[in-house]
Amino acid sequence: MMLGTEGGEGFVVKVRGLPWSCSADEVQRFFSDCKIQNGAQGIRFIYTREGRPSGEAFVELESEDEVKLALKKDRETMGHRYVE
């Protein structure tokens, strides 16, 4: 997982290794210990040029403390895949 900031406001982590069929609800459950900004709307999936899910997403969190909690989830599994 990688950390970034959005225009100096907000806290965003980039998540890789998500199952391609993963939904926003599943990402919310994976990060259930963290407060995601605007719930499912704070999750942005990345798609390939062909419009297929890439297994990556940006998750906007409410604070730096929430980012620290999210980063602790690095290499935990979601289904049969581990998430970075």
Here the tokens at position 83 are 């998430």
Tell me the CATH number at 11: 3.30.70.330
Write the pLDDT tens digit of every residue in 34-84: 999 999 999 999 999 999 999 999 999 999 999 999 999 999 999 889 999
Question: Which residue range is the domain that position 76 belongs to?
Answer: 2-82
Q: Greater confidence, 8 or 25?
A: 25
pTM of the predicted structure, to 2 decimals:
0.86
* 67 burial type by CB count under 10 A (0-12 exposed, 13-18 middle, 19+ buried): buried
The count of domains in the chain is 1
Cα distances from 64 to residues 3, 8, 24, in angstroms, run 10, 12, 21
Q: What's the rounded mean pLDDT across residues 16-27?
A: 96
Phi and psi torsions of 77, nearest 5°: -95, 150
